[in-house]
């Protein structure tokens, strides 16, 4: 391993060891979660769950550590880990990797075709996951992958790893040793660069015409992309070739656009003329003359579709459905952008390219001025020193992916070490992190548990609404509160795995639901955590940790006891995504201790909540909730959870709604009024 990888590994292990709990199992789990976070950031998958399963099976073993089930593209991913934790790790050998792949493949094959689920009690997450994989492979599967992750380096003499299969499908094997994890995490984009050699992989380049003079700040080209090539790129890379705003807009759809389907069926040769085409960006490309004397693009690096994601995905699904793409071509405007400011330029192009499309403001949230303000505040706000004699430090907000590493690489020697001392890597905070903390503490845990992409959409709605009312509230005090939420959440992340009552495999869900319940209960009292105190000490107070662990233990049964009609195969990670899961917990009799509530402070938003509380009570008194319940609009515009809340408000004999329930009533009422209810 080179020096940079060694240093990265040392910092990663220090971060893992710094948790509140010691022990190999805990450290292994923390490593798996960190590896999955890197894979998620690198867009290998959009969501993941942890599930430790290891058992003897048919003269061999089954073993996995994590998984991802993507309904949008039908990709099933299993993660299996080899964690050493030692200061001087040995290289991964061929037989070790083969064994890891075999054990993960056994779990996959045994779940899809045999009864491997019976190795565990039906209360175990592995049992539910195995059942879910059986259903997934029968209904949705298009591709299966096995990710081997390790804190050890791959040996230089690593031999060939046999490619397993699932029925007639090959199972793709991805090896992510510490070097590959480090390079992805330290890259300026937070992901591995997508390099595509069109000639080598597809037998032809992409016909192109240069569109700008050489002295322009960037290069632009007009291209003709073959439809089958574009579909193949999406098949190979999935959502990784779609810029994050475009990916959010597509959501979970697997449909072929109606117009695209009709053109492919009736007049495929006219596709180029009928379709609006693509806008894409790259960081580098190689051009060459083709056989006609014109130009073609041989290869590209960091290829991203910033407009035209629906065309890209629709061509892929159309080919899956049996439509021929022979003779189908797509026009593409391609921009080669300089490395400096690459990520920000990509977001800007996406924002302007989609300005006249049906992409909502929340889909284009990545470029919102909120993030620029938070970045500015984070660079100016020095956190207090933790110990006497130490210097203060900064919480570094990454407005663009990988900006922490970009800043660090600009420094050399002593300057780099000094910068890193006051900008410790453990105090790096990303957009995804802020979305998790803010939505969790806003008591919408089912959104957080639905994955980073969906939660970012919920976060966008939360922030855009508040920003439109008063952007000045997003000041240094707000940033300190965000950091305090990060400190408290991370502390609970580290404390729960060491508790004797913790069942495993639900850490993120349990932390999210426990904190949401605490925040909801305090909100009902017109109170909130003293974030300023947590900021000043840069630590979670003992009284908070004691109460949070007590609440978390009580939350466990609400996550484990899953109604059969709610979630197929009763998988905790899927149950936690449902609003019904939160509504049941929110309506429980779990309460905070009086001493804990006494330590909280009056909420800054309590006056606003009180105003709506009086209004909601008045609507109950005059029968408006009953009228809304009985109206046709309730069925047309309200969600199931909102209709349920309106029903409760209509039939209650003593209106005392608070916290989350009051908030849901507010949302339901605003929806109904916007739709014409009077």
Task: List the one residue out of 488, 485, 400 whose CA is nearest residue 41.
Answer: 400
Q: For residues 307 and 117, give the distance between their C-alpha atoms in angstroms, rounded to a whole number.
A: 43
The helix/strand/coil state of 483 is helix
Average pLDDT over residues 132-138: 91
Task: List the one residue out of 71, 201, 82 whose CA is nearest residue 139.
Answer: 71
Q: Grade residue 147 by pLDDT with cuts at 50, 70 and 90.
A: very high
- DSSP classification of residue 391: P
The reported pLDDT for the residue numbered 360 is: 45
Does the pLDDT at position 363 exceed 50? no
Domain 3-186 sits in CATH at: 3.40.1350
Domain ranges for the chain, please list them.
3-186, 195-358, 369-602, 606-674
How many Å from the N-terminal Cα to the C-terminal Cα in the chain? 69
Structure confidence by residue, pLDDT tens digits, 586-626: 999 999 999 999 999 987 653 344 467 777 877 887 788 88
Task: List the one residue out of 618, 675, 614 whose CA is nearest residue 642.
Answer: 675
List all residues 6 or more positions away from 491 whose beta carbon is below 8 Å from its beta carbon: 20, 539, 540, 545
432 touches 399 (CB < 8 A): no
Structure confidence by residue, pLDDT tens digits, 401-415: 778 887 888 888 899
Q: Grade residue 23 by pLDDT with cuts at 50, 70 and 90.
A: low
Q: Grade residue 20 by pLDDT with cuts at 50, 70 and 90.
A: very low
Task: List the one residue out of 1, 34, 2 whose CA is nearest residue 15.
Answer: 34
Structure confidence by residue, pLDDT tens digits, 426-445: 999 999 999 999 999 999 99
Q: Grade residue 311 by pLDDT with cuts at 50, 70 and 90.
A: confident
Does the pLDDT at position 34 exceed 60? yes
For the chain, give the mean pLDDT. Answer: 86
Helices and strands, number each (H, E), in the chain:
30, 20
Structure-token pair, residue 435: 């979305």
669 touches 619 (CB < 8 A): yes
Structure confidence by residue, pLDDT tens digits, 253-307: 555 677 888 888 888 888 999 888 898 989 899 999 877 778 999 999 989 888 8
Of 142-151, 229-238, 314-323, 565-574, where does the model show the most confidence?
Answer: 142-151
159 touches 337 (CB < 8 A): no
173 touches 164 (CB < 8 A): yes
Going from the C-alpha of 402 to that of each of 10, 200, 430, 541, the distances in angstroms are 19, 30, 9, 31
Task: List the one residue out of 621, 643, 622 whose CA is nearest residue 631.
Answer: 643
Burial (Cβ within 10 Å: 0-12, 13-18, ≥19) of residue 653: exposed
- DSSP classification of residue 498: G
The β-bridge relationship of strands 195-197 and 206-210 is unpaired
Task: List the one residue out of 16, 55, 7 whose CA is nearest residue 426.
Answer: 16
Q: For residues 623 and 589, give the distance between their C-alpha atoms in angstroms, rounded to a whole number.
A: 28
Going from the C-alpha of 520 to that of each of 483, 490, 525, 585, 654, the distances in angstroms are 19, 19, 9, 11, 20
Q: For residues 202 and 206, give the distance between their C-alpha atoms in angstroms, rounded to a whole number.
A: 10
Structure-token pair, residue 251: 């959501």
The reported pLDDT for the residue numbered 605 is: 55
Structure-token pair, residue 197: 């050699």
355 touches 366 (CB < 8 A): no
Average pLDDT over residues 381-386: 90
List all residues 6 or more positions away from 11 whose beta carbon is below 8 Å from its beta carbon: 425
The reported pLDDT for the residue numbered 510 is: 97
Structure confidence by residue, pLDDT tens digits, 610-620: 467 777 877 88
Q: For residues 307 and 349, give the distance between their C-alpha atoms in angstroms, rounded to a whole number.
A: 9
- What is the number of residues in the chain? 678
């Amino acid at each position: 391993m080179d020096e940079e990888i060694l240093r990265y590994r040392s910092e990663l292990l220090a971060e893992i060891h710094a948790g509140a709990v010691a022990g190999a199992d805990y450290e292994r789990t923390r490593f798996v979660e960190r590896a999955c976070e890197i894979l998620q950031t690198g867009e290998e998958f959009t969501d993941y769950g942890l599930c430790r399963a290891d058992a003897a099976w048919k003269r061999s073993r089954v073993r996995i550590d994590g998984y991802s089930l993507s309904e949008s593209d039908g990709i099933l991913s299993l993660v299996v880990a080899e964690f050493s934790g030692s200061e001087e790790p040995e290289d991964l050998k061929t037989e070790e990797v083969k064994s890891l792949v075999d054990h993960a493949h056994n779990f996959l094959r045994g779940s899809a075709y045999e009864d491997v689920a019976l190795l565990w009690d039906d209360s175990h997450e592995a049992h539910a996951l195995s059942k879910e994989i059986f259903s997934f492979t029968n209904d949705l599967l298009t591709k299966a992958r096995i990710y081997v992750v390790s804190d050890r380096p791959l040996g230089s003499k690593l031999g060939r790893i046999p490619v397993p299969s699932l029925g007639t499908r090959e199972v793709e094997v991805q090896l992510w040793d510490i070097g590959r994890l480090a390079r992805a995490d330290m890259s300026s984009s937070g992901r591995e660069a997508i390099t595509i050699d069109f000639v080598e992989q597809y037998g032809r380049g992409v016909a192109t015409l240069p569109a700008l003079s050489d002295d322009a700040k960037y290069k632009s080209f007009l291209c003709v992309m073959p439809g089958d090539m574009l579909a193949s790129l999406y098949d190979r890379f999935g959502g990784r070739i779609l810029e994050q705003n475009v990916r959010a807009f597509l959501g979970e759809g697997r449909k072929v656009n109606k117009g695209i389907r009709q053109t492919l069926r009736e007049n495929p040769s006219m596709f180029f003329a009928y379709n609006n085409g693509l806008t894409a960006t790259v960081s580098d490309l190689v051009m060459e003359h083709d056989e006609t004397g014109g130009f073609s693009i041989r290869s590209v690096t960091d290829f991203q579709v910033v407009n035209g994601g629906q065309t890209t995905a629709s061509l892929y699904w159309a080919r899956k459905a049996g439509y021929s793409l022979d003779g189908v071509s797509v026009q593409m405007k391609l921009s080669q952008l300089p490395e400096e400011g690459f990520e920000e330029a990509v977001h800007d192009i996406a924002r302007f390219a989609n300005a006249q499309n049906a992409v909502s403001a929340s889909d284009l949230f990545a470029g919102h001025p909120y993030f620029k303000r938070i970045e500015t505040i984070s660079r100016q706000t020095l956190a207090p020193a933790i110990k006497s004699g130490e210097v203060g430090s900064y919480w570094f907000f990454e407005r663009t992916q990988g900006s922490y590493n970009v800043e660090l690489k600009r420094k050399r020697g002593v300057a780099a070490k000094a910068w890193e001392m006051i900008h410790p890597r453990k105090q790096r905070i990303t957009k995804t992190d802020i979305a998790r903390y803010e939505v969790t503490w806003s008591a919408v845990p089912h959104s957080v548990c639905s994955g980073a992409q969906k939660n970012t959409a919920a976060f966008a709605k939360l922030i855009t609404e508040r920003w439109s009312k008063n952007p000045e509230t997003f000041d240094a005090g707000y940033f300190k509160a965000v950091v305090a939420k990060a400190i408290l959440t991370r502390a609970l992340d580290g404390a729960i795995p060491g508790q004797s009552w913790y069942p495993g495999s639900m850490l993120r869900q349990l932390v999210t639901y426990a904190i949401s319940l605490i925040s909801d209960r305090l909100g009902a009292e017109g109170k909130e955590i003293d974030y300023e105190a947590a900021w000043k000490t840069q630590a979670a107070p003992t009284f908070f940790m004691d109460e949070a662990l007590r609440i978390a233990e009580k939350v466990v049964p609400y996550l484990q006891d899953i109604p059969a009609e709610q979630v197929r195969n009763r998988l905790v990670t899927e149950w936690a995504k449902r609003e019904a899961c939160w509504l049941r917990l929110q309506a429980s009799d779990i309460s905070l201790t009086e001493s804990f509530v006494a330590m909280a402070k009056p909420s800054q938003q309590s006056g606003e909540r009180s105003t709506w509380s009086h209004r909601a009570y008045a609507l109950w008194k005059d029968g408006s909730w009953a009228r809304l319940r009985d109206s046709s609009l309730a069925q047309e515009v309200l969600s199931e959870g909102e209709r349920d809340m309106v029903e409760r408000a209509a039939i209650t004999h003593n209106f005392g709604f608070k916290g989350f329930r009051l908030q849901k009533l507010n949302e339901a009422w605003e929806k109904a009024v916007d739709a014409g209810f009077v």
